[in-house]
Amino acid sequence: MTFKYQIYHRISPVNCINGLDDHITMTYLDDDLGMVTFSLICPECGVANPDDSLNCMVCDRDLTNIVLFLEDDSFDLELTNEHLIECRKNFWGTDRTGKVNRYPLSEIRNIEYGSPVTRFKFDFNGERKVIPLRKENMEILKDVLPIVIKRNNI
């Protein structure tokens, strides 16, 4: 079995990009062992939850709409079926500042994935937004976001 990266999709139990089409499936390294994996990270409190959790076992946050959660140096980025949510962190990247930018996917235009510098760029409300990403997070977002947009006819 292979494990590429974590995304969440609630049509089937837990899933991940298979890279062949727009159907999202997930396989786990631990499947052969029959172990429960705790890879569903709560964007609210950061606790790992069992993969089939509907709510966070610590803060009770609804986890059913989360498609992707990425932790980066200066923010956390959450992707749901309707929004891209950016939660800013302090200078050291240790705590959230409380500033949250919520971008409805239906209002995002002109998406670009920067190279060689990893910058995710898009237009929102007449402004150009630029979000710096780690290379691995850029690759994940580049794979997942087009599928979410297509699946939701956005």
The answer to whether residue 97 sits within a structural domain is yes
CA distance 15 to 58: 23
The answer to whether residue 23 sits within a structural domain is no
pTM check: above 0.75: no
Q: What digits encode the pLDDT tens for the residues 100-110?
A: 899 999 999 99
Q: What is the CATH number of the domain that holds 127?
A: 2.30.29.30
The answer to whether residue 30 sits within a structural domain is no
Beta pairing partners, 55: 62
The answer to whether residue 50 sits within a structural domain is no
Structural domain including 143 reads 65-151
Q: What pLDDT, on a 0 to 100 scale, did the predictor assign at position 110?
A: 95
Please tell me the total count of domains within the chain. Answer: 1
Quick one: what percent of the chain has pLDDT higher than 90? 37
Higher pLDDT, 21 or 87: 87
